[in-house]
Chain A
Amino acid sequence: DTEVTQTPKHLVMGMTNKKSLKCEQHMGHRAMYWYKQKAKKPPELMFVYSYEKLSINESVPSRFSPECPNSSLLNLHLHALQPEDSALYLCASSQTGGDTTDTQYFGPGTRLTVL
């Protein structure tokens, strides 16, 4: 099973809303990632969790707050977003994350629209 699941598939929210994106994997992977992808652009790394600890925060604004409750789950809490935050948010996982040869497996993404 090489599946990473994400919910919801689509999300529309206002700038004052609070919402959460969820990601789950059951491959036993110990590294999980959040990426943001704008149209016609490659994925941009936002956060990396390795062994349930935040390893990388790519200078992401505090209105995005990641959480890793356990090794299978990854959340992204959203608050006071801006319209320019509208994008496809991708979750990915890999075996350990500490090896540059790790393959990353992507979930289907959440398409977020901020009004």
Chain B
Amino acid sequence: GQQVMQIPQYQHVQEGEDFTTYCNSSTTLSNIQWYKQRPGGHPVFLIQLVKSGEVKKQKRLTFQFGEAKKNSSLHITATQTTDVGTYFCAGPGAGSYQLTFGKGTKLSVIP
């Protein structure tokens, strides 16, 4: 089946520093979705990117979809302790119903 590779697995940053997580696929993706899971919580949908080269912003979060629609990134500017959690990207799986999740990037923010 399709795989979405996500790096890094872990990231520790000082509060106020920036953070970026990357997702890559060997095949073209029709779309990519991003989810955040707080410690002890459940995945919460953040955003979906569909168009080649698309860039979307949500306050301090910037999401990009590559021109070839094979990679995506999530960048957080000036991290805060509320940003702590695991960020997952997810692309379409082998079937129409499926999401294939990346392994996630666990973000720790040191106050």
B9 to A, closest residue via Cβ: A40
Contact A101 B43 (CB under 8 A): no
B66 within 8 A of A: no
- The answer to whether B44 touches A42, judged by C-beta atoms less than 8 angstroms apart, is no
Within 8 A of B (CB), among A19-63: 31, 33, 40-43, 45, 48, 50, 55-56
Collect the chain B residues with CB atoms within 8 Å of residue A108's CB. 41-42
Task: Count chain B residues whose beta carbon lies closer than 8 angstroms to a beta carbon of A.
Answer: 24
Contacts of B103 in A (CB 8 A): 41-42
A55 to B85 Cα, complex, angstroms: 32
Q: Mark A53-91, 1 if CB is under 8 A from B, else 0.
A: 001100000000000000000000000000000001010
Q: Are A106 and B44 in contact (CB under 8 A)?
A: yes
How many A-B contacts at CB < 8 Å in the complex? 55
Give the distance in Å from the alpha carbon of A104 to the alpha carbon of B88 in the complex.
13
Min C-beta distance of A2 to chain B, whole Å: 8
- A31 to chain B: which residues have CB within 8 Å? 97
How long is the Cα–Cα vector from A50 to B95 in the complex, in angstroms?
13
Which residues of chain B have a CB within 8 Å of any CB of chain A?
A: 30-31, 33, 35, 41-45, 48, 50, 88, 92-93, 95-99, 101-104, 106
| 4 nearest CB pairs, A to B | A42-B101, A100-B92, A48-B97, A106-B42
28 A-B pairs (CB sep. < 8 Å): A33-B97, A41-B103, A41-B104, A42-B88, A42-B101, A42-B102, A42-B104, A43-B43, A45-B98, A48-B97, A50-B97, A55-B97, A56-B95, A56-B97, A56-B98, A88-B42, A98-B96, A99-B96, A100-B92, A101-B31, A102-B97, A103-B33, A104-B33, A104-B45, A104-B99, A105-B45, A106-B43, A106-B45
